[in-house]
Amino acid sequence: MPGYADMIREIKENRLGKLYLFHGEEAYLRAHCLEKLQKALVPEGAEGFNLHRFSGKSVILGELADAVESVPFLCERRLVIVDDFDLMGIPAAERDGWAAFLGGLPDTCCLVFLYDTIPYKPDGRSKIQAALNKNACIVEFKEQEDFQLISWVERHLRAHGKEIDRPLCEHLIFRCGRGMTALYGEIQKIAAYNEGPRVTREAVDEVTEPVLEAVSFDLSDAIADGNIKKAAHILQTLQWMREPPETLLGAVGKTLRGLYVARLAIERGKTAREVMTVCGYRSPYPAEKLMRSARKRPLAWCKNALLACREADGMLKGEMETERERVMEWLLAVLFLCGKKENETV
C-alpha cells in the first residue's frame, strides 16, 4: 500500500490520479500531504472556484457529483475533498450508484476521501471496496519509525539554528509521544526557550508537555529509587492531567508490568531488545529505561508491585466517586512498603 513518501513523489513528478483515499494514524503527514496536493492543483487565490470540501455527515451523491463534474476555472483540475465519510457504511441500495460514480470520474477533477476522526475499515465483500481497489490510490500514513522521527526532529530544530544529540532526541520523542503534530509544537517551544545552539535536557524537561506513559515511567523510577517525595509530586502531576483513575492505574500498571519483564530479562541474561519485543514498544528507549530501573529492585518487589496494582484495580471498582483518587495514593504507599519488605507478599 502506498505511503507518504510515494504520495509526495507523485505530487513532485506531476503524476496525480483522479481518486485518492487518505487514512492512517499519523495526522501530521496526512495534513502535510493534503497541503502539498492543494498547492499542486489549486492556484493561490482560486480556492473559491477550484477547491470544494464536504463534511462526511452531509454528503449527498448528487451534490458531490456536481462538484466533481464542474469545469475548473483557469486551471486544469478541481480538487474535491470529503472529510470523514464512511464509504463502507453506504446503504446497500445506493452502492451501485456510488461504485459507478467512483469508476467514472472526469480527468478534470481530483477527489480525495480523507479519514481523520473515523477509521478506514476495508471490506473485501463490498462493491464500494472493489471500486476503490480498481480506481483509487489508497494511501496509508503510518506512524514513523525511530530513525525517521529522529531525522525529522533534527531537521526542524536545525531550521531554528538548534542542534540536538540522538540520546536527547530519543528522550524528547519518548517524553512527548510519537505523534508528529504534538512533537512539532514542542519543537517550537524548545527552539524559543533554549538559549544556546545545542538543546539541553533541562530545556526539554522544562518546557515540554509529557504524555501519560512518560510520567508513569518517571513515577516508576522514583519508586525504584526510594524517593517518596519525588514520587508523590509525580503522582500529583498525574492527577492534574485530569485522567480518570482507571486510566492512571492502567498506565502505572503497564509500566510496572514492563519493570517485571525487565527484571526477568536481567535474571535470565536477556537484553533490552528482547524486553522491547515482549512489551510491544516501537523503540528500544523505553526498554532500556525499564532495564535501568529494574536493576534497582529484586524480582520479589516487582511481583508484589503487580499484586498491589491488581488490588488497587479491585478497590477502584468498589470505591465511591469521592474516594477514587485516594486509591492511587494507597498504591503509592504500598509500593514503598514493598520496598521495605521485599520478600513479603502484599
CATH of the domain spanning 4-140: 3.40.50.300
The long-range contacts involving 159-164, CB below 8 angstroms and separated by at least 24 positions, are 160/187, 160/191, 161/191, 161/197, 162/190, 162/191, 162/194, 162/197, 162/198, 162/199, 163/197, 163/198, 163/199, 164/198, 164/199
| Residue 345 confidence (pLDDT) above 80 | no
Q: Has domain 212-340 been given CATH number 1.20.272.10?
A: yes
Per-domain residue ranges for the chain? 4-140, 146-207, 212-340
pLDDT, tens digit, for every residue of 138-189?
Answer: 999 999 999 999 999 999 999 999 999 999 999 999 999 999 999 999 999 9
CATH of the domain spanning 146-207: 1.10.8.60
pLDDT, tens digit, for every residue of 85-98?
Answer: 999 999 999 999 99
Q: What is the pLDDT of residue 101?
A: 97
Q: Around 322, how many Cα atoms within 13 Å sit in the side-chain half-sphere? A: 0
Comparing 4-140 with 146-207, is the CATH topology the same? no
Predicted TM-score (pTM) of the model is: 0.83
| Residue 202 confidence (pLDDT) above 70 | yes
Helix, strand, or coil (residue 41):
helix
| β 19-23/137-140 pair status | parallel
**Mean pLDDT calculated for residue range 242-255:** 89
**Which of 230, 294, 240 has the alpha carbon at shortest distance from 265?**
294
Residue with cell 495534513: 31
Q: Which three cell numbers stand for residue 15?
A: 503524476
How far is residue 100's CA from residue 325's CA, in Å, rounded to a whole number?
56
Phi-psi region of 269 (alpha: psi -120 to 50; beta: other; left: phi over 0): left
How far is residue 34's CA from residue 195's CA, in Å, rounded to a whole number?
34
pLDDT, tens digit, for every residue of 283-327?
Answer: 899 999 999 999 988 999 999 999 999 999 988 887 665 577 788
How far is residue 231's CA from residue 228's CA, in Å, rounded to a whole number?
5
pLDDT, tens digit, for every residue of 63-87?
Answer: 999 999 998 888 889 999 999 999 9
| Residue 341 confidence (pLDDT) above 60 | no
The long-range contacts involving 337-340, CB below 8 angstroms and separated by at least 24 positions, are 338/301, 338/304, 338/305, 338/308, 339/223, 339/226, 339/297, 339/301
Altogether, the residues listed in the chain come to a count of 346
